[in-house]
Amino acid sequence: NAGVMQNPRHLVRRRGQEARLRCSPMKGHSHVYWYRQLPEEGLKFMVYLQKENIIDESGMPKERFSAEFPKEGPSILRIQQVVRGDSAAYFCASSPPGTEWANVLTFGAGSRLTVL
């Protein structure tokens, strides 16, 4: 019974390149969330998605960042033209349908992005 799977675990990019981070939610979970953790900071909400729908992207930077959760396959967080300030740990989380456990998120191990 695999948990939330994220890959790659570590990604190194040069300034101006693109970064793609993937997330497969826990089996039976239909809600996916992306969070970012900068050094010495707490986790910050970025986006909440359901299949083929972005529900809340209030935490996403206005430019260069996008997220999708297609009908088939994992959720993707895409960062275009990366800058050094994008270096962070990106965590994906999922939750089951229904409202009772809506805010009890199961997190993946994270993807650590380093921009040179």
Partner 1 sequence: DQQVKQNSPSLSVQEGRISILNCDYTNSMFDYFLWYKKYPAEGPTFLISISSIKDKNEDGRFTVFLNKSAKHLSLHIVPSQPGDSAVYFCAASGAGGSQGNLIFGKGTKLSVKP
What distances in angstroms separate CA 61 from CA 5, 8, 57, 88, 98, one per listed residue? 24, 22, 9, 14, 28
- What is the dihedral sign for C-alpha 19, 63, 54, 103? positive
* Residue 36 main-chain phi, psi, to 5 deg: -125, 140
Is there binding between residue 107 and partner 1 (CB under 8 A)? Answer: yes
11, 21, 33, 75: which one binds partner 1 (CB under 8 A)? 33
Site for partner 1 in 44-103 (CB under 8 A): 44-45, 48, 55-56, 58-59, 91, 93, 95, 99, 102-103
Positions that interact with partner 1 (CB under 8 A): 4, 31, 33, 35, 40-45, 48, 55-56, 58-59, 91, 93, 95, 99, 102-110
